[in-house]
Amino acid sequence: MGGSYRSSAEVLYLQVYLYLMGPPYHLEIWHIAVICLLMLPAFFIANYLLVKKMVQERRIREDRVERFVAASVSRDMSPENRSRKRPRRRL
């Protein structure tokens, strides 16, 4: 008369919910500090690789611009282009 009866599916659901939502362990401050210190070399390695890739891409981009400017200047300063007279513009 008034007692609460739960089916086995509800009990199983409640147990799974409590298991998943409840923390299986608690980290103390020194645990977190140790994990951070152990992750520090991985961060430095990833940062080094990222900076190295960015420097390489920048160097390639600067070389490409330098080659383009050199080709443009050599084309404009070549003897056959300089000796050719350009027609005057009429206004």
- By residue range, what is the domain housing residue 78? 28-82
pLDDT digits 0-9 by tens, 13-64: 777 777 666 666 677 888 889 999 999 999 999 999 999 999 999 999 999 9
Other C-beta atoms within 10 Å of 81: how many? 11
Q: What is the CA radius of gyration of the chain?
A: 36
Q: Is residue 19 part of a domain?
A: no
Asked if 91 contacts 85 with a C-beta cutoff of 8 angstroms, the reply is no
The answer to the question of residue 40 being in a domain is yes
Examine residue 66 and state whether it is found in any structural domain, yes or no: yes
**How many independent structural domains does the chain possess?**
1
15 domain-assigned:
no
Alpha-carbon span 39 to 59, nearest angstrom = 31
In a domain, 62, yes or no: yes
Beta strands in the chain (DSSP E): none
pTM exceeding 0.85: no
> What tokens appear for 42 in the block?
């991985």
